[in-house]
Amino acid sequence: LKKKREAKNPDVRISLPVVCFVWQIAMIILFGVFVRYDEESDAHWSEHKREKNITSDIENDFYYRYPSFQDVHVMIFVGFGFLMTFLKRYSFGGVGFNFLIAAFGLQWALLMQGWFHALDPADGQIKIGIENIINADFCVAGCLIAYGALLGKVSPVQLMVLTLFGIPLFAVEEYIILHVLHVRDAGGSMVIHTFGAYYGLTISWILYRPKLDQSKRLNGSGYHSDVFAMIGTLFLWMFWPSFNSAISDHGDGQHRAAINTYLALASSVLTTFAISSLSAKRGKLDMVHIQNATLAGGVAMGTAAEFMITPYGSLIVGFCCGIISTFGYLVITPFMEKYMKIQDTCGVHNLHAMPGVLGAVVGAITAATASESVYGHEGLVNTFDFKGKYAERTPATQGGFQAAGLCVALAFGIVGGAIVGFILRLPVWGDPSDDNCFDDEVYWEVPEDEESIPPILEYNSHMVGKYADRM
Amino acid sequence: LKKKREAKNPDVRISLPVVCFVWQIAMIILFGVFVRYDEESDAHWSEHKREKNITSDIENDFYYRYPSFQDVHVMIFVGFGFLMTFLKRYSFGGVGFNFLIAAFGLQWALLMQGWFHALDPADGQIKIGIENIINADFCVAGCLIAYGALLGKVSPVQLMVLTLFGIPLFAVEEYIILHVLHVRDAGGSMVIHTFGAYYGLTISWILYRPKLDQSKRLNGSGYHSDVFAMIGTLFLWMFWPSFNSAISDHGDGQHRAAINTYLALASSVLTTFAISSLSAKRGKLDMVHIQNATLAGGVAMGTAAEFMITPYGSLIVGFCCGIISTFGYLVITPFMEKYMKIQDTCGVHNLHAMPGVLGAVVGAITAATASESVYGHEGLVNTFDFKGKYAERTPATQGGFQAAGLCVALAFGIVGGAIVGFILRLPVWGDPSDDNCFDDEVYWEVPEDEESIPPILEYNSHMVGKYADRM
Amino acid sequence: LKKKREAKNPDVRISLPVVCFVWQIAMIILFGVFVRYDEESDAHWSEHKREKNITSDIENDFYYRYPSFQDVHVMIFVGFGFLMTFLKRYSFGGVGFNFLIAAFGLQWALLMQGWFHALDPADGQIKIGIENIINADFCVAGCLIAYGALLGKVSPVQLMVLTLFGIPLFAVEEYIILHVLHVRDAGGSMVIHTFGAYYGLTISWILYRPKLDQSKRLNGSGYHSDVFAMIGTLFLWMFWPSFNSAISDHGDGQHRAAINTYLALASSVLTTFAISSLSAKRGKLDMVHIQNATLAGGVAMGTAAEFMITPYGSLIVGFCCGIISTFGYLVITPFMEKYMKIQDTCGVHNLHAMPGVLGAVVGAITAATASESVYGHEGLVNTFDFKGKYAERTPATQGGFQAAGLCVALAFGIVGGAIVGFILRLPVWGDPSDDNCFDDEVYWEVPEDEESIPPILEYNSHMVGKYADRM
């Protein structure tokens, strides 16, 4: 056993520091060349204010968006991070690697998204402000979703590579969807969730481990790790209204996006509990469903949150998503693992892929059926940004473009995932062996704590092997 | 044993899904008929803005209240949820059922409160915006407080029933107190805390379980569950200033409410530590007190937070509440259980009932003694809303109405709790048997985790030494 | 053993309640004499608004700063509190005593800082508003940092004494640095971190325990306590942009401070992971580094965050700090303990002292090199507050004063720490004996929870029944 484990060498002592150092230095150089403050975060703001007749500092976009930014930030680091602590012995890896790749990803995203969206034509530099850092967090979310499918099966170096390629893929995909197709997707049902989920699932498919059941003993939750995961769930659930409203239009746009998301999420909770209870002996609830499927309503409102989908429309979307997502955990994930060779640790297919696609479809339909009687003329123009060269676009056309956006997200996720998957199969990244997955021992100094100190004086071959390692 | 447990059948496989589905569908239908966006969240906002000469999007109420809303939202789901994880084997039920009933309750509250407070006479529809969703969270808080008294002893179906009736009771009580009596209670000392606590305590009294000590082994905290509960405590404690200021008046009202609450809470912490230490051998602190009584200052400032109670007044309120509340845990809860047959799992009588009543009294006195010299003329009119048909009301009269409001809250809590308690005694709700309370095994698939598998039948010298020490 | 333990009597049953009661009553009296609402939180706000031609309630400073205040509040109570739960059996003490001293400290800080910064000359009273309560939280942070060096080795009474003296020391130091020297330090690299760390380290040096290794078995983390500590880490990390921008100038000042801090923190994460991995066999990461050194970038941006340090400048600062801080944990902390007799439980020297000093130096250099070409004339004047009697100060001179500020912070920390350290050596404070440190049993009622009670050598029908159920 020991020998075979060495066949895959999960030693990252050289590779991880090199990757971190080189990429961080690259970030510094690229930021040095390209990134500056925008007019609202630059010390020239007081002059800018006077030029533009802005009467008050409160009009700085910072005050419109900073509270939402912080909520999104909590979702990225505590939300995604703690949601991935549910495995009984992979909590360090769940929250720790999430932290690492998000911290790298947000820098890289500021650059990549900056080149596509925020380049100042006057001097060729990227001007950053509050909206850019929200978008960087969004971009990172795509990679963290992909991590969910791979949790416990990859090395931190592989995750850094996944992020290195994932961010530019995201930025190009986003550029095509939002700018070329002029699609609305403020909360990213397509851009973030669909892309991220298929990116991760495709990678997982390529990295398929036929003997993963050798790690079965650790591929499950513990009582306390399930409670830790609920921290992640709840912060995601509570702050999702901020996620979907963070970059939507000032005023009614942000207001409506928050309310719609709030309602969809509430509705998801009830149907998740219902299906979870219905599916088990004596109606016992499953924490996996509660931790994940309750969030599906937020994912599915990513596109339509800022539209006039109506409060009951939001409830219906959440209703359906709670059912679909829980059903996914019960039926589709096992099916995919058995017949399609896709091992999806966190069930991102159920939480992000299906609700993301549904959200895109809902968005397309809601856009296609928009009318001046519902939105008002100005409201319609503002909501769909029918301005400039898009001034003549009709809601029906917009609906078609929305649907096209979904295809772009799917294509980027699957094709990008396939390419990156093959790169990650190279035997140089220090990934764990099949009998060593879902185990923090591989990449972390794990404390021998009271609880885990094995009762010596008994022959326990598993334990002996395990603790011998540490000495 | 096994047989007897079956006497009460805690199987909710049919009842829970049915309740969740039917009620969620009812919500969708009622929202479809009644609920629409208000003028600040509707796409017609830009026209509305022009009509009302509003110069900037930042004047949308969203920007005044959204940060506070998110804090309140965290209190409801993480605060109340994690506070109830303190039981060693009921953490899933604590945080999970809190999640379920809050998600249902907020929808139901939008409707019930909407019919009483936000009905647009023009079209008979409820127009919702940020203030409505804050109020819905508040309304839910009443039911979650009631849950605290019943924690571990009821089924999720019973909790849904408790919420189904609790929300309309709350909405009517709130309507009478705030609108009919024109009482001020921005943080809900009466409306939320007094009502919620007596509602739950009365139900607990009616559901009295004489043989509850059969579950004694699980009716206590564990080391880690106590730390989890501190997450709830701290988020409640930190965000209570937002709770009490979330719907108070723009400007100085919100500002003052936050400061007063901040101070009262700080003061409660010191007296809680003092009494807790004073009451135990060698001055050892009790986590139950720290988790709960430290919050009493926030409860007691619910009414007076927006008044000119002065900073030292706030400190005095917090000072008294920390003492009373800790004393309650030491003396009153055991007394109530033994002599009054009220089993109060979380001690809501100490955290919500007594401080809530005290807060109402403080509010009444502060209102009765208000004067133009302290508030200024405009300030007095704004703070107590002495406008329209209340233009002639004096502070002294207001004080009397404030006291009347307390009576209404008590009456609704007790009478409502009695009625709902009898409904919950029907033998159809799947509640656990007396020897099976406080146990997640009843309603949840509990993981068999590493830590909880006991190393049976072996001599373990380390363990023996260590635990011998503690005895 | 038992006898010897009694040599130090950790009974705080009299001293802790007395201290809490007397000091809280003192606070009430002093607040009664000195503290009132400021014009933005007073009911006269509507008159004030009219006088000053303020057109909208949104101009109340509450709306500029309240979201940041709440983030800072979370850092103080959850951030610092949970970061100190990492010890396997001192989580109650970590989060609980943090709660106690912060709640006392913030009241005391409102007074002390008020006397120095917010005294209304008209009536000799302290007028408090949102900025004061943010500053009170900041002031408390200094004492909490000091607690980090002493964690597990002192009694709660000693911590109250540490806070009682720490707050006035902080207030005087702050007054000299910010007002006398007119130094800029919005996020407190000098004022908070350098002062707090050296204050705590000096006390720890004076309270040196030569036989502390008698408590070695408890001076380490556990698997779950490490995950709890990550809650603290992440909330500190996420909200540090709010910390550094909470009291900086409206508009671009707050905006820029948030962005710079966000970037520096991201950069720290990568170098922390790099050094941590590089230093261990097989590249295994150490949770201590991840929990702490990742935050160093935020500390080091405390002074320069609001300056035009540029985005890449921020990344460079974070880059260096992650390295220095992790290196500190690997080399300097053991060195200090062995050769300098400074026992630093949380490694505050690595997280606060060194990055704080570095931040001060960075701030001085950035200030000294500021120019009108970069800031614009108005920007330069606003950023460095070159107004009134400082209108003639040049950036170069400002740089010199910034460096002088660092010396003041160091001097106050070390001299203050020495004095307070000697006071804390008096044998009346109930501190634990050397073999009893890092143990919650000393000051807390610790539950004998299920997990830790092994069902040894006894036929336990409950357990058998219970676990039989699961199979």
CA–CA separation, C313 vs B274, rounded Å? 48
In angstroms, the CA A293 to CA B275 distance is 44
Nearest CA in chain C to A103: C266
Min Cα separation A132/chain B (Å): 20
Rounded to the nearest angstrom, the minimum Cα separation between B413 and chain A is: 26
Contact state of B104 with A269 under an 8 Å Cβ cutoff: yes
How far away is chain C from the Cα of B63, in angstroms, using its nearest Cα? 8
The more confidently predicted of residues C42 and C10 is C42
Q: Distance between CA atoms of C188 and C53, rounded to whole angstroms?
A: 34
* A123-156 pLDDT, tens digit each: 999 999 999 999 999 999 999 999 999 999 999 9
Interface test with A, best of B58, B130, B250 (most A CBs within 10 A): B58
| Residue B139, pLDDT score | 97
Q: C363 falls in which pLDDT band (50, 70, 90)?
A: very high
Radius of gyration, CA atoms only, chain C: 23
Q: What gap in Å lies between CA C190 and CA C408, rounded to an integer?
A: 9
Quote helix, strand, coil % in chain C, to nearest 5.
70, 5, 25
Mutate to test the interface with B, among C2, C6, C9, C28 (most CBs of B within 10 A): C28
d(CA B317, CA C421): 35
Chain B residues close to A458, C-beta within 8 Å = 455, 458
Partners of B265 on chain C (C-beta within 8 Å) are 103
Residue of B nearest to C97 (CA): B273
- DSSP label of C196: H
CB-based contact B91 A220, cutoff 8 Å: no
Q: What is the pLDDT of residues A66-87, one digit of tens each?
A: 999 999 999 999 999 999 999 9
Give me chain C's average pLDDT, please. Answer: 92
Q: What is the tens place of the pLDDT at every residue in B209-253?
A: 999 999 999 999 999 999 999 999 999 999 999 999 999 999 999
How big is the B-C interface in CB pairs under 8 Å? 272
Strand pairing category for B35-37 and B119-120:
unpaired
Q: pLDDT at residue C125 above 90?
A: yes
State how beta strands C119-120 and C35-37 pair: unpaired
CA distance, residue B338 to nearest chain C CA (Å) = 23
Check pLDDT > 70 for residue C88. yes
Reduced to 3 states, what is the DSSP secondary structure of residue B257? helix
For A43, A130, C261, the CA distances from C308, given in Å and listed in that order, are 7, 16, 12
| B95 Cα distance to chain centroid | 14
What chain B residue is nearest to A240 in terms of C-alpha separation? B70
**Spatial distance between the Cα atoms of C125 and C115, rounded to a whole number of angstroms:** 8
> Is A37 close to C256, i.e. CB distance below 8 A?
yes
For C237-266, the pLDDT digits (tens) are: 999 999 999 999 999 999 999 999 999 999
The pLDDT mean for chain B works out to 92
What gap in Å lies between CA A460 and CA B458, rounded to an integer? 12
Smallest Cβ distance to C278: which of A13, A41, A156? Answer: A13
Cα separations (Å) of C427 from B54, C10, C154?
A: 66, 10, 12
Residue C467 has pLDDT above 50, yes or no: no
Instruction: Provide the pLDDT for residue B449.
Output: 61
Does pLDDT of B317 surpass 90? yes
> What is the CB neighbour count within 10 angstroms for residue A122?
7
Residues of B whose CB is below 8 A from A241: 70
First to last CA, chain C: 45
Q: In this model, does residue B149 exceed pLDDT 70?
A: yes
Which of A12, A49, A91 comes nearest C283 by C-beta? Answer: A12
Closest CB to A28 among C59, C238, C312: C312
Shortest Cα–Cα distance, C203 to chain A (Å): 29
Q: Name chain C's partners: 3 or more CB pairs within 8 A.
A: A, B
DSSP state of A248: S
Q: What is the mean pLDDT of residues B305-311?
A: 96
CA dihedral A283, A288, A294, A299 (to 10 degrees): -150
Q: Looking at chain C, which residue has its C-alpha nearest residue A470?
A: C281
| Residue C83 burial (CB count, 10 A) | 29
Measure in Å the smallest separation between the Cα of A86 and chain C Cα atoms. Answer: 11
Q: Tell me, what's the pLDDT at C464?
A: 38
Question: Among all residues of chain A, which has the CA nearest to that of B460?
Answer: A455
The tens digit of pLDDT for each residue in B25-82 reads 999 999 999 999 999 999 999 999 999 999 899 999 999 999 999 999 999 999 999 9
In Å, how far are B142, B340, C145 from B409, measured between CA atoms?
11, 21, 45
Describe chain A by its helix, strand, coil percentages, rounded to 5.
70, 5, 25
What is the SS3 assignment for B86? coil
From CA C109, how far away is CA C136, in angstroms rounded?
5
Yes or no, beta carbons of A269 and B103 under 8 Å apart? yes
The residue in chain C having the minimum alpha-carbon distance to the alpha carbon of residue A12 is C283
Binary contact (A258, B27; C-beta < 8 A)? no
- Across the interface, whether the CB atoms of A380 and B43 are under 8 A apart is answered yes
Mutation target for B interface from C14, C19, C33, C41: give the one with most B CBs within 10 A: C41
pLDDT digits (tens, 9 = 90+) for A171-204: 999 999 999 999 999 999 999 999 999 999 999 9
Closest CA to B174 of B385, B392, B413, B422: B413
Contact A40 C255 (CB under 8 A): yes
**pLDDT score at B410:** 97
Contact B31, A311 (CB under 8 A): yes
Determine the residue of chain B that is closest to A317 in CA distance: B28
pLDDT average, residue stretch C5-12:
74
**b/e burial code for range A276-308 (CB count within 10 A of at least 16 → b):** bbbbbeebbbbbbbbbbbbbbbbbbbbbbbbbb
Is the Cβ pair A457, B460 closer than 8 Å? Answer: yes
Is residue C451 over pLDDT 70? Answer: no
Q: Best of C49, C61, C282, C466 to disrupt the A interface by mutation (most A CBs within 10 Å)?
A: C282
The answer to whether B299 and B363 are in contact (CB under 8 A) is: no
Q: Distance between CA C9 and CA C455 in Å, rounded?
A: 33
C-beta separation of C98 from C116 below 8 A: no
Chain A residues inside the 8 Å CB shell of C230: 81, 95-96
> In this complex, do A227 and B92 lie within 8 Å of one another by their Cβ atoms?
yes
Q: How many CA atoms lie within 13 A of C225 on its CB side?
A: 26
**Cβ separation of B271 and C21 shorter than 8 Å?**
yes
CA distances from A462 to A458, C224, C452 (A): 11, 21, 22
**How wide is the angle at C-alpha C201 spanned by C-alphas C200 and C205, nearest 5°?**
120
Give me the residues of chain A with pLDDT under 70, please: 1-7, 449-471
Query: By the 8 A CB rule, do A35 and A111 touch?
Result: yes
Across the interface, do B287 and C224 touch by the CB < 8 Å criterion? Answer: no
d(CA B209, CA B214): 10
Which of B354-368, C5-19, C33-47 is the least confident region?
C5-19
Query: What gap in Å lies between CA B321 and CA B328, rounded to an integer?
Result: 10
Q: Per-residue confidence at B6, pLDDT binned at 50, 70, 90?
A: very low
